[in-house]
Structure 1
Amino acid sequence: MRRLFLHINVSLDGYVADPAGDIDWRFADKEFQDHIDALLESIDGMVFGRTAFEQLAAYWPTAGEEVSATQRRRMHELPKYVLSRTFPRTGWHNSHPLGDDPARLLGDLKRQDGRDLALFAGGRAATSAVRLGVLDQLRLVVNPVLLGGGTPLFDGTYPKADLRLTDTRRFASGALLLTYDVAAPGTPVR
């Protein structure tokens, strides 16, 4: 059975975008790019919120030498699933809407054989995934910056979820990758 994990950059004060909606405060050195290459090679699909999907669909089909060959290839070939009832029409290869019952469709995808699925999203989609109870793991890249406002990682209401820290990685930039497993409802965290 595959897992669905959230992989997202966040500021130390809990924001995924600054007050202007920009994400250029995130670091993107060679070490981190190598991490992203390895991550993309390790998964069998990507899940996006509608907004992130639209932004990425405008960029990746024509991405050039500014990104690695691994990223260009994997962003093209991997299946892309969109958390949206209204599917944005793009020419981005292998894209699929999750429609009116994303929890059921994501559950079906997770029950298939294969490698894990990654949710690359913004705050609204991350909150929706927590609310739907479909996340198995959170991989938070905590960047050494205080933004003082912006788009919070989680916004709105969602059920309590117990987490267990399973791994940490420190990047030379000072960012930390914190990996948390999500306990099934009613399961104590050990």
Structure 2
Amino acid sequence: MRKLIVAAFTSLDGIIQAPGGPEEDTSGGFRYGGWVVPFADQAFGEAMQTLFSQPFELLLGRRTYDIFAGYWPHQTDSPDPFIADLFNRVPKHVATHHPDTLGWHNSHALLGELADAIRALKQQPGDTLLTQGSGELVRQLLAAGLVDELRLLIHPIILGRGKRLFDDQAQASAFTLADSSSTPSGVLIARYVRDGEVRTGSFA
């Protein structure tokens, strides 16, 4: 069975909304779009290169897919087209109610009940499944217990309000910190691997 990795930019209080730009997602009156940008130093870039260094297929919600499809195909002539070339080439599995509108190269709709479709996808031969953005999809994956690994870039800010990585529907799960590092700008880069059920105890 192939792994499913959730990769996410998050604030200290778990907000993941609109990390990349002011107009990315202003729903709910969110006004801090682009909060990741001030932290994007060389170490941050190297962390992203590491994330994408192993073979993967993208697993995307429809909103993130539309943002990516409108951006990455036009970045192939940029000074550093590494991510553009990858994203344009790899298979992209998309949670959508409109499969006939997926125009980006190598895009595939997830059909039927979402959790069942992803369980079936994990059973198929292929590379690791990697999410980018796609907050609503990620919360459904967490609720269904389908996440094998979390790659979190935790930023030293509190945003107070906005869409969160975890909600109260997430399935209780234990994770082990497999490795971690930090950037000069204060971003904590943490890789957590699924480790079975939550264990409890008592100090009494």
TM-score by length of 1: 0.85
**1:156 CA displacement:** 4.6
Tell me: CA distance 1:50–1:11, structure 2 relative to 1, closer, same or farther (3 Å).
same
Tell me: CA distance 1:89–1:179, structure 2 relative to 1, closer, same or farther (3 Å).
same
Tell me: CA distance 1:86–1:106, structure 2 relative to 1, closer, same or farther (3 Å).
same
Q: Give the alignment partner of residue 25 of structure 1, picking from 31, 35, 44.
A: 35
Distance, in Å, in 2 between the alignment partners of 1:33 and 1:181 is 22
Matched, 1:72 2:78: no
Q: How does 1:1-20 map to 2 (within 5 A)?
A: 1-17=1-17, 20=30
Distance, in Å, in 2 between the alignment partners of 1:129 and 1:46 is 14
Q: Give the alignment partner of residue 157 of structure 1, picking from 169, 179, 184.
A: 169
Q: Give 3-state SS (helix, strand or coil) of 1:104's partner.
A: helix
Please tell me whether Structure 1 or Structure 2 has the larger radius of gyration of its CA atoms: 2
**1:159 CA displacement:** 2.2
**1:39 CA displacement:** 2.0
Matched, 1:126 2:122: no
What is residue 51 of structure 1 aligned with on the other side? Answer: 63
Matched, 1:177 2:189: yes
Retained in 1: the 8 A contact 2:148–2:194? yes
User: Which stretches in structure 2 are left out of the alignment for 5+ residues?
Assistant: 19-28
User: Which stretches in structure 1 are left out of the alignment for 5+ residues?
Assistant: none
Q: Give 3-state SS (helix, strand or coil) of 2:99's partner.
A: coil
Query: How many matched pairs?
Result: 188
**1:62 CA displacement:** 0.8
Retained in 2: the 8 A contact 1:123–1:154? no
The letter of the residue matching 1:24 is: G
Q: Report Cα offsets for 1:133-174 as digits up to 9, x if no partner.
A: 211011111011121211111235232122222211211221
Distance, in Å, in 2 between the alignment partners of 1:126 and 1:23 is 19
Distance, in Å, in 2 between the alignment partners of 1:88 and 1:150 is 31
Question: What's the % identity of the aligned pairs?
Answer: 29
Retained in 2: the 8 A contact 1:43–1:118? no
Retained in 2: the 8 A contact 1:168–1:179? yes
TM-score by length of 2: 0.80
